[in-house]
Amino acid sequence: MCARVCGERDAPLIVGAGASGTRAAEASLARLARWPEVRAALVTVPAFVRPAAAGVLAHFARLAGTSPVPLIVYHVPYRTGQPLDAAALRALGSLPGVAGVKYAGGGIGEDAVALLGDLPAGFEVLAGDDLYLSPLLALGAAGGILASAHLATGRFAELAGAWRAGDVARARPLGHALARMSAAAFAEPNPAVLKGVLHAQGRIPTPDVRLPLLPASQGAVKAVTAALEGLEGSV
């Protein structure tokens, strides 16, 4: 269904194909050759084993050399336990076959600023922390891969367009409003609150999540619903 919807909207289909080990990740990527609709693969930095930066580079060089589609590095150190500085991310971005990074560093520190200030040719940064989309766009990010964009897709697209057009007066208040909504959506472990809101809107049949996650509280769902209503009414 995802392939059909992307085809109807001329949107690139990106799929997750991550694994901690290089061989397992290679096998996962090889299976993508069966689906010509897939345009890129989102692959996490190896978790648990925590190799040195040189090992991460070798891992992605191996994957990029055999993958049937370009790779987007998913940099999320608060989940993988593997922080990478700007130099390491720049080295990854210089690999043939690596198209970009989903940057979810948990904030905007000097590494994010340094990376965006000196990107390899053909390499793009996509915001991965919903809360920091607007400032990353202001710094030069190309876009974002965001869970809370399911709740206000058009407004997130509007924000990206405003920053690309240099419309700071429009982008700044919209970015703040979307950040408030995203913060509410992540008040409990993701994706419980998002699924709760989508269910309350009648867009998915159940709010259930798999253990060890638990369904979102009604208070969290109501907080996001109120933030969405405020977003439409004030920005």
Q: Residue 102 catalytic?
A: yes
Active-site residue, selected from the candidate residues 74, 103, 132, 195: 74
3-state secondary structure 43-64: EECCCCCCCCHHHHHHHHHHHH
Give the separation between CA 62 and CA 83, rounded to whole angstroms. 20
Residue 64's closest CA among 33, 122, 120, 25? 25
Cβ atoms of residues 101 and 72 within 8 Å: yes
Active-site residue, selected from the candidate residues 102, 103, 132, 195: 102
Cβ atoms of residues 26 and 63 within 8 Å: yes
Q: Residue 103 catalytic?
A: no
Give the separation between CA 49 and CA 81, rounded to whole angstroms. 9
Active-site residue list: 74, 102
